[in-house]
Structure 1
């Protein structure tokens, strides 16, 4: 099997969320491909996907040493920069960004790299697809650099100006990228420019909605036409989950509780087994209820009000919100008590259980199987036997 075939098979496994199988395939061929930077790059990526950070660092470091100018791929520099972080990490990311910028400049001047076109232009060697790939990778690196400046290097005097420079460059590359506006909202929050953060967040949500709707329509069309692109569309749809969760957290931080709940709920359209979405939706509702009870008083932070105090309120809107939060968390409770809990953060599981306990426990009627489900016949007898 050639190096190209091995890499192609490994990438297919990674794209279908089978990193363990990809690692098994690559490990089997490692000894005969230790001099291939492209092989080492995908091998390092696979090690990252299987949470073997130290091994990934060593493999990717070697691959970068073998190809210091990123002539045989930029991904290894992006991944290594992500692992290292700090100023040293930025140096690696910048190598990738410089190479990608050169590719884009050549493309804009009509000079198409045939190797890149074959690899990233799709089956029809589409230049627009290649351009999309280059800009997507550029933004990936830019977002990574912004994260470093906002975390590892946040105390550096130039941190704020660097973030501003990078996010504006990203928006210039693609002014319809919802993740760029989400990150812009995060930057504005850190600058305590909340009104501007709200504007950026609303723009991000508008673009995410449009993208989500477009992908849903494309998926339906592909399914009807038996199109081979259905899988790629599905993967792009699933990739919306984490950015939407992030955006819903920003909305919560900005006290846009209705918006936060709607964004979190939209994740459930994509995958109804994501515990975070139910938690954020319920939390946003509870903050809204606390805000209503607080009624503008400046004596204390309304977010410090406990749930027992909320439960004592005779405000029908607050009561309705508490019932809705309880119902939402009950859906999360069902996830916790299913096989899907294996993919859940244990700390989040504890938080959901704690909130539910404070609200009086899950809604029992929503935990009962639907009558008429053949596989659930006899559930009444099971409950009776548990009580005996």
Structure 2
């Protein structure tokens, strides 16, 4: 390895990362940095590998080095730094990355596929910035206006991005504008609900789980079931899926009465109990969700008592079974 050049090492790093052999990729990166400590390609790649190895502080330092050496080209390092930063520092990193992407986007608009990929990345970065102002920076005096501005920019660049509309609905809910939120959620779902699995316009699994929570918040129960059914077909071993199924059935029961309520709440209990069982198998650690699932089950049990467990049938030895059978025949005679 001592005779390798940086150009020799770069494809080896790529091969290792493609194979998800991050320790080997890290070793190659270390050697490459010894040979070329100011090569921004190596610094950025090292940062990406360190993220996979959960060496977050080291990754952050390598991205900062790359930015110092090459501040006005290459948006990726700013996106990674934004993810590794908090509050206004994260906003600053994402903003610089968005500025660089916008410059490239304007140059690439003739290349439709490349322009669409950039538009997706720009929208995603603007959504990340919005979420920071909704959470960590929510007390900033201009937080609400920043959310509106970022989401408006995202819609202009990528008008059919479901993630953008979903986040806009979340902002409207925080403003207690629930009717507007419901309309926006309907529009968001419409962008992808008829698409085949694997279509890039479909939000990722976790995003759609978040969508179900928003739908329940505005009382869109049929739409919540539609999203859950699609998620179940993709992966039915997810704790959150069955928790949300249970919560949705519970909400449906609250809106009905009589036998319908009992049926919906029995279905809710089945789903919630399955969520708890899956959590034990998978080592799931969202304590608040699990506690809410237990609370819902307890509430249901006060109205719909759980069925008594079926008695186990005792398996008798052959000779005793014959004896019982003979006696049964005798009784019939």
TM-score range, shorter chain: 0.7 to 0.9
Q: How does 1:25-64 map to 2 (within 5 A)?
A: 25-34=24-33, 35=37, 36-64=39-67
Q: Does 1:215 align with 2:158?
A: no
Contact 1:356 1:362 (C-alpha < 8 Å) held by counterparts: no
Contact 2:29 2:45 in 1 (8 A): no
Q: 2:305 aligned with 1:321, yes or no?
A: no
1:142 is matched with 126
Which of 8, 11, 14 is residue 8 of structure 1 equivalent to?
Answer: 14
Query: What are the ranges of 5 or more consecutive residues in structure 2 without an aligned counterpart?
Result: 1-6, 316-333
- Structure 2: how far apart are the matches of 1:174 and 1:209? 18
Q: Distance in 2 between matches of 1:11 and 1:27?
A: 9
Output the CA distance in 2 between the equivalents of 1:381 and 1:38: 70
Cα RMSD (Å): 3.0
Moved more, 343-352 or 281-290: 343-352
Distance 1:363 1:91, change over 3 A: farther
Matches within 5 A, 1:337-352: 337-338=280-281, 341-342=282-283, 345-352=286-293
Alignment coverage as a number of residue pairs: 300
For residues 330-351 of structure 1, give each alpha carbon's deviation from its aligned partner in whole angstroms, at most 9, with x where no partner exists. 432442354xx14664554454
2:220 alignment partner, one of 256, 260, 264 = 256
User: For the residues of structure 2 that align with 1:330 and 1:265, how far apart are their CA atoms?
Assistant: 18
Whole-Å Cα distance in 2 between the matches of residues 153 and 81 of structure 1? 14
TM-score, scaled relative to structure 2: 0.78
In our comparison, the structure showing a higher alpha carbon Rg is 2
What's the counterpart of residue 274 of structure 2? 331
CA contact (8 A) 1:261 1:281 kept: yes
CA distance in 1, matches of 2:162, 2:173: 17
Other structure's SS at 1:208 match: coil
The answer to whether the 8 A contact 1:185-1:196 is kept is yes
Q: Which residue of 2 aligns with 1:290?
A: 254
Unaligned runs of 5+ in 1: 111-126, 217-232, 294-314, 366-378, 383-388
Q: CA deviation at 1:323?
A: 1.4
Kindly indicate whether the alpha-carbon contact (under 8 Å) linking 2:17 and 2:25 is maintained by their aligned counterparts in 1: no
Distance in 2 between residues matched to 1:54 and 1:106, nearest whole Å: 34
- The answer (yes or no) to whether the contact 1:37–1:66 under 8 Å persists in 2 is yes
Q: 1:12 to 1:30 in 2, by over 3 A?
A: closer
The answer (yes or no) to whether the contact 2:108–2:114 under 8 Å persists in 1 is no
**CA distance in 2: counterparts of 1:345 and 1:364, whole angstroms:** 30
Measure, in 2, the Cα distance between the counterparts of 1:171 and 1:5: 38
Q: State the alpha-carbon separation in 2 of the partners of residues 43 and 364 from structure 1.
A: 58
> How far apart in 2 are the matches of 1:83 and 1:151?
16
CA contact (8 A) 1:273 1:335 kept: yes
Correspondences of 1:229-308 after superposition (within 5 Å): 240-292=204-256
Q: Shift of the alpha carbon at 1:5? A: 1.6
- 2:176 is matched with 192
Q: Aligned in 2, Cα 1:140/1:46: closer, same or farther, shift over 3 Å?
A: farther
Could you list the per-position Cα deviations for residues 96-155 of structure 1 after superposition, in whole angstroms to 9, with x for gaps in the alignment?
Answer: 1111111111123x5xxxxxxxxxxxxxxxx33211221121112111111112122222
